[in-house]
């Protein structure tokens, strides 16, 4: 199955266009696509004003999304999140700051954060996945314990835990 056949649809309460512009400003390889508007027939508008934006399509790093202004009926929760694989601490810092701006600080833990629209993100350094998959389960366990004590993930702290040097730059 081609990845291009899949589009992730995000349900917003009137903020789909604002969110699309926000996400495409955060991720460098992104663009806004087409827009569709609610029609004159009020029965099909789910309480939305005819002529107002219904759907905005956008792309982030080759992944297709559609923002739907569906009203207040559904909210985002942590059961679904988007993982951002980061090469280094500078990337972790960048995405953490940008995606977390205006978000709910109570939802920041272990590399997870909730953005200002309620969408959940995991800002993860690629090296973390390698350490957690290491055959030495003791090392992987130390990394897990260090990660659980962090909000934004700190690569130096994770590596220190992996090598058995707890306390070296663990918490941010």
Residues 53, 37 contacting (CB under 8 angstroms): yes
pLDDT at residue number 45: 66
**Closest of 20, 114, 4 to residue 67, by C-alpha:** 20
Residue 165 has pLDDT above 90, yes or no: no
Query: In CATH, which of 3.40.50.2300, 2.40.430.10, 3.10.180.10, 3.40.50.1860 is domain 3-69?
Result: 3.10.180.10
pTM for the predicted model, two decimal places:
0.89
At 90 the three-state DSSP class reads helix
* CA distance to 94, 104, 119, per residue, from 11 (Å): 25, 18, 10
Torsion of CA 5, 34, 74, 60, to 10 degrees: 60
Provide CB contacts within 8 A for 86, sequence distance 6+.
92, 95, 123, 124, 125, 126
Fold of 81-163: 2,3-Dihydroxybiphenyl 1,2-Dioxygenase; domain 1 (3.10.180)
Q: What is the pLDDT of residues 60-89, one digit of tens each?
A: 999 999 999 998 889 999 999 999 999 999
| CA 157 – CA 172 distance, rounded (Å) | 9
């Amino acid at each position: 199955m081609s990845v291009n056949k899949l589009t992730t649809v995000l349900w917003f309460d009137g903020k789909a266009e604002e969110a699309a512009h926000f996400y495409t400003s955060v991720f460098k390889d992104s663009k806004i696509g087409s827009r569709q508007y609610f029609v004159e027939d009020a029965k099909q508008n789910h309480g939305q004003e005819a002529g107002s934006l219904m759907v905005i399509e956008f792309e982030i790093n080759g992944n297709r999304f559609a923002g739907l202004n569906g009203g207040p009926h559904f909210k985002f929760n942590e059961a679904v999140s988007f993982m951002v694989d980061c090469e280094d601490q500078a990337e972790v810092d960048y995405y953490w700051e940008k995606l977390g701006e205006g978000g709910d600080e109570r939802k920041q833990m272990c590399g997870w954060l909730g953005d200002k629209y309620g969408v959940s993100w995991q800002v993860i350094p690629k090296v973390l996945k390698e350490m957690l998959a290491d055959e030495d389960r003791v090392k992987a366990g130390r990394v897990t314990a260090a990660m659980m004590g962090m909000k934004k993930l700190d690569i130096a702290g994770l590596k220190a835990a992996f090598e058995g040097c707890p306390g070296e730059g663990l918490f941010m």
